[in-house]
Amino acid sequence: MKQRIKEYSLGLGLDDVGFASVAGYHSPQGPEIETLFPGARSIVVGCVREMSHVESPNPQLAMNGRLDVQEFARGINYKLSRFIENECGGRAMSVPLSYPLNLDPAQTRTVADILLRHAAVAAGLGAFGRNNLVLHPRLGARVLFLAVLTDLAIEPDEPVKENPCTGCNICVETCPSRALDVEGQTDFMKCIMASQPYGLPKNVMYWLQWAGRTPDEQKKMVLSKDFFMMYQAGFIGFQYFCYKCYAGCPVGRE
């Protein structure tokens, strides 16, 4: 069963695939998987390589590449879920690649229902690097993960034996917002202000300012670049402008 699923997954175009048991998945902030999918026993985790778009100084080209990867991975997620249900006799549930997620103003930061980085580590696809991303032994930091939950009992893979991170600190030194200065932590607000300059914090501040302005000032605000970029981000989703922690990491690159 495990080999059938692995061969099918790789045939869809995944760069790597790993398997974790639900019992072996541990996320300090996320909910227990059993509360999301009663009866779930295994996690199939796929790995998709990012292309060279992460190196582009043009945010439109860089984000377009990310959207391509996300669309490709979402298609695999659904096909893999169908394969498990139709061909393997199990129940399957795909995990959101990036969104939707629960956005609650009462929370200081958003936490995914199932954290793909922790699932990837549990499935033997890598280990956390200094940039707090999961580094794949062969592909490095330039990867996105996808996952499918199933009630099938699948033998989990072993964790990676050696952490691929070299400790070079390039990610720390090139982070424009100094969000990685404290080892083992990512300052969420510092990161999001640089990586998503037209995201939710920008929206909140923009409309709070708009409410207190005169009609003429409000008109200028609506005709500003900030408004137009927020409009675009509103239907794209999370629109990233910074990939330095991906692009600068030397692991997996010749």
The domain locations on the chain are 2-164, 170-245
103 or 43: which carries more pLDDT confidence? 43
- Whole-number pLDDT of residue 34: 93
pLDDT bracket for residue 253 (50, 70, 90): confident
- Whole-number pLDDT of residue 254: 64
pTM listed for this prediction: 0.92
Type of residue found at 45? V
- Whole-number pLDDT of residue 175: 96
Counting runs of H as helices and runs of E as strands, what totals does the chain give?
10, 6
Mean pLDDT of 121-139: 96
pLDDT tens per residue across span 76-93: 999 999 999 999 999 999
Return phi, psi of residue 3, to 5°: -65, -40
Separation of alpha carbons 189 and 110, rounded Å: 11
Beta strands in the chain (DSSP E): 16-21, 42-49, 92-94, 127-128, 134-135, 143-150
Handedness of CA 189, 190, 194, 197 (dihedral sign): positive
Mean pLDDT of 171-192: 93
